[in-house]
Structure 1
């Protein structure tokens, strides 16, 4: 009998690692050392959404459950992987593209979205990942999925931060004002997040997973795949970093 294989799906936490635009930067530095204190202790500064992490419903609505209000069952279970690796940058994922994966889910299944975007980790292109349409998020929730993971920065589109030079940004904004005849309609903010996190009294989203190709290959061979996504036990939190580990076989 072949022993199960474990796959670490967690980005290493390092100083200056990529974060969502506007989130706290990550910084690790020695707080104590054996030279002066007899022990090594690391000072860790990061945001709740740093690296590979989970979102609790409280992330998008203060009236929804915080991380410590969710059952542990939300963070572990069998997995089904949707292969979206052929999609171009900033592609909106539709229900039809998820249909083959959703046909395989059962109660307690974790749905993973494999976009292939980990290959752009640490580059500006990482922000241009595919994302879920509200209709796709509704289809996921309707299928009974309460935990969704993605190998990208977000299940919603990540805004382009635009030019770094303030003078260039001001110039572009002025040009846009000159050519706009009417204000653009407001788009729902984090629409897929809101749908998934509201599902079943409180859903979970896992973001910034590493390469899911080994799991897709295992799934193609009918090997069972399960996940553990347990977060740090932060009080009243909107989310927390996780050590995401998949078990194949």
Structure 2
């Protein structure tokens, strides 16, 4: 059977979903054949836009930036954990990952299949399952340094509903924590505990988020077909992360 390549990347489009508070995405013609003889697209986006990877620097300024990580961190054999069917905002525990973690070895890319891509572009996309710190620690202990998820984040995403006084109070508290204790304290208080565990792994970890539907990879895994994944980012200097073209190869 010939190998199959599967694109796991959301298309980058104007107005695409972004993490609450991140820069909006806009693609606007900068030059056109009608006026300049060539077509050139102007891009406005954040380092965390669309399907992307996080480097350790994303949560701690003393940790490695994107260009400080080896290329090997962005590719490898994949194991997919089937987390489909979970309720919104379910906390993923080590027990829910046990079957997948039994299959990983150092260098494995662990992918979390939540089924949440079906909500892409809707408010419900923010209500994805998320890792507990204990689950993140179990992943690191298993030797995984590269983790991917088909959802907005590996941590819980707050609902930024307009006019919600609880959210407004939380944001005010986070601002106060930043002023008094610095960015690391803010990261912990804002629900990035799993990020800190994974990205702070010995040697530096990588997190890929906003992957598309992983069903085909689960089916290949069940059939005993090897799966490899590549998550190579743009080569941004001193960056916290970057968009990627995520591609899986099923042998």
Q: Normalising by structure 2, what TM-score?
A: 0.90
Runs (4+) of structure 1 exceeding 3 A deviation are: 168-174, 186-189
Whole-angstrom distance in 2 between the partners of 1:20 and 1:224: 32
* Residues 99-143 of structure 1: CA deviation (Å, up to 9, x unaligned): 000000012100000000000000000000000000000000000
Q: Secondary structure at the match of 2:49?
A: coil
CA distance in 1, matches of 2:78, 2:166: 48
Q: 1:35 and 2:30 equivalent?
A: no
CA distance in 1, matches of 2:3, 2:133: 36
Change in CA separation of 1:218 and 1:173 when aligned onto 2, cut-off 3 Å:
closer
Q: How do 1:66-215 and structure 2 match up within 5 A?
A: 66-162=65-161, 164=162, 168-170=163-165, 187=189, 189-215=191-217
Shift of 1:171: 9.6
Aligned length: 233
Q: TM (normalized to structure 1)?
A: 0.91
Relative to structure 1, the CA distance from residue 25 to residue 223 in structure 2 (aligned partners, 3 Å threshold; closer, same or farther) is same
- Structure 1 residues 36, 224: CA separation in 2 closer, same or farther (over 3 Å shift)? same
Matched, 1:24 2:23: yes
Partner of 1:242: 244
Aligned residue in 2 for 1:229:
231
Structure 2: distance between partners of 1:73 and 1:227: 11
- Structure 1 residue 187, shift from structure 2 partner: 4.6
Structure 1: which 5+ runs fail to align? 175-185
Decide whether the 8 Å contact of 2:160 with 2:167 is kept in 1: no
* Shift in Å, 1:173: 7.0
Q: Which has the larger radius of gyration?
A: 1
**Given that residues 147 and 207 in structure 2 are in contact (C-alpha distance below 8 angstroms), is that contact kept between their aligned partners in structure 1?**
yes
Distance 1:40 1:103, change over 3 A: same
1:43-54 correspondence runs (5 A): 43-54=42-53
The alignment's C-alpha RMSD in Å is 1.5
